[in-house]
Amino acid sequence: MTTNAHPEPAHLARMPAQDMPLRQLSGILDDPMDTNPDHYFNRELSWLTFNERVLAEARNERYPLLERLRFLAISGSNMDEFMMIRAAGLAAQVQRKIERQSLDGRSPAQQLSDIREAVHALNRTQQNTLRDLRRLLSGQGVVISGKEKLDAQASRWLKDYFAEHIAPVITPQAIDPAHPFPFVANQGIGLLFTLRRNADNTQLFEMVLIPSGLPRFVRLPGERAVWVSIESIIARNADLIFPGFTMEGNGTFRMLRDSDIEVEEDAEDLVRYFRTAIQRRRRGKVIMLELDDGFDPAAEQLLREQLGLDDAITLKTDGLIGIAGLDCIVDEDRPDLKFEPFSPRYPERILEHDGDCFAAIREKDIIIHHPYESFEVVIDFLRQAAKDPDVVAIKQTLYRAGKQSAVIAALIAAAEAGKSVTAVVELKARFDEEQNLLWASQLERAGVQVIYGFVDWKTHAKVSMVVRREENGYRTYCHFGTGNYHPVTARIYTDLSFFTADPKLCRDAVKLFNFVTGYVEPHGTEGLAISPIDLRSTLYKLIEHEIENARQGRPAAIWAKLNALTDGRLISRLYDASKAGVAIALVVRGICCLKPGVDGLSENITVKSIIGRFLEHSRIWAFANGYAMPSHRAKVYISSADGMSRNLDRRVETLVPIRNRTVHDQVLQQVLLANLLDTEQSWILAPDGSYSRVGEVDKPFNLHRYFMTNPSLSGRGGALAEGHDVPKLALRRGAV
């Protein structure tokens, strides 16, 4: 173990209106870390392997065909975001000659080179998968048309559709000295035509950019669903755009631009800064260019010269450009080609109190498991608060709320009813900045006190707080979540909602809001750990306690469920625990830089990733605390934070202790145990970085199916599986 002597990152150097707490800063600089690059996987390549697992679900023969197509589209959307943010960030480092190495010892240039190779391989797999799905879907009456010839009736319909709906909104533009090269927006798709004018035999290039308002695919009328891409429709009707010209070639292209927004330290007005930054993002540096493989070489050269591609990745394909666009075809009304519909249950505990959220919470803490249990209860919590004459104040964090947000409507209703409402709106939520600016404006007009938090740190904590006047004085009710207040993602992300009226946690929530709204550092919290103040140090203490238990010969185990694990210092602590004999079982859905199962380093650590019908999103930590059967003695926490440096050092996050006996058992012996038991959707991480499916077992278990068909956590459901207990799984090597 060596001391990490790297200087303090620039984005940690300043906190608005005050200096960073000295105890936090010293903790960062003195925090020891294993610096051996052989002990870590590369973050970017680990993410790409995650997207390979997503793409593998598009080839999962147990899934209905349109659901497989959905996974293919998701892999495309994931890749777009990765290129626009992660690859673009590395390209910027290369351009600035920054040589900072990754955990595994790679320079930015080396990582970009590896990414380029991996992206090309992934794209080939995507196109091969699409070809297979096209064939299979066609057999079921859903046709994704390519360049093949259509029958006369379909061609006539498309020609009419083009004339009425497309021709009026597209603008062909010549590319020559008299016409400046048009601006191509981020994720923009265009066609470049090589033409020869019949009148004088002059060759010229014409570009047609596809407006974002046009649909990506158009469905032909008829019982048989035939879908044609918008670029194919334009190419098929080029003679209507260019009468008097002979077509010599055409090609489709799509580009991605650097889309990250860096907040400058001297930004005086965050709202004005982000409105300007969003406009700048649309003109970011080109990071990737997609071309169909029939692109005219001369036209391609012109495109490259005009765009100034430099080191941008170029993908040539004989398939579909913009795989993410397939998601609209998934909406085809074919229930036989989709998962069986699932309706979330409304929490029984609330129903038992005639829908009175406050009465139910006052009686006992409640844990809600989304999407199996409806997110509507979170909205009802706020709606009831808005209508209740005894509620005097509501405080709410908002990271991503979606475009149609009932949460926003409830907060506005509360403010209009005369209640004191404070909303912490995070402007820096990537790709939701514009929507959050809109929500902030609407909230302010309704009288809500809108706070934008810190300039340097994102407020990622998921907390809602209601103060109510009751018979014995004021009582506070809190909701702590692992996921966003987003009604759409709440139907497909697995997350936990914890409702409590515990005075200690509620007092901590007050301190959290005071920290974000007034920079008042939350000293002396009674249960809640808050990053970037003490969440990291709290995890360290819990891990160290397990190490000490192992050294003293007591049972020692750590179980965690995360979306990502990339922080080198946290990983080093887990390595220390493994060396001391602590059994560690990790469920990490996405990026994992920790190498499990390495002799002398991590032989007591297992890592699995779960990819299935729902996106695993909840974050849970559990520690055996010295007990072999820790049913109610283990220390259990839910969190908004992943195991990443940004969550621990550069975001406001929460780590919430679960102390209520019933809720404790539900989180540990239901949710966490189900993840450990799952075999049908699980991938095991090997020491070499490869992932493999669990494969056939005597008693297969699918955690998503289990929670869809069994009693809700908030009801009277029994234990997950008789005879199964977390320690039996986790206190031996290879348990997962």
**Which residues form the catalytic set?**
460
How many C-beta atoms lie closer than 10 Å to residue 654's C-beta?
27
* Bridging pattern class, strands 651-657 and 529-531: antiparallel
How many C-beta atoms lie closer than 10 Å to residue 687's C-beta?
14
Q: List strand residue ranges (DSSP E) for 426-546, in order.
A: 449-451, 458-459, 462-470, 473-481, 493-500, 529-531
With beta carbons less than 8 A apart as the criterion, state whether 467 and 392 touch: yes
* Bridging pattern class, strands 682-685 and 557-562: unpaired
Contacts of 434 (CB under 8 A, 6+ apart): 278
Region of 185 please: left (phi>0), alpha (psi -120 to 50) or beta. Answer: beta
Q: Kindly give the residue spans of alpha helices, DSSP state H, lying in 604-700.
A: 645-649, 661-666, 673-677
What angle do helix axes 433-445 and 406-416 make, rounded to 10 degrees? 20
Contacts of 104 (CB under 8 A, 6+ apart): 37, 38, 40, 41, 42, 593
Contacts of 65 (CB under 8 A, 6+ apart): 133, 136, 137, 140, 142, 337
Q: Kindly give the residue spans of alpha helices, DSSP state H, lying in 476-534.
A: 503-518
With beta carbons less than 8 A apart as the criterion, state whether 531 and 649 touch: yes
Contacts of 162 (CB under 8 A, 6+ apart): 233, 234, 236, 237, 240
d(C-alpha 130, C-alpha 134), whole Å? 6
Tokens of 132: 């297979």
Angle at 614 (CA atoms; ends 130, 531), nearest 5 degrees: 120
d(C-alpha 682, C-alpha 667), whole Å? 19
d(C-alpha 422, C-alpha 708), whole Å? 36
d(C-alpha 172, C-alpha 472), whole Å? 72
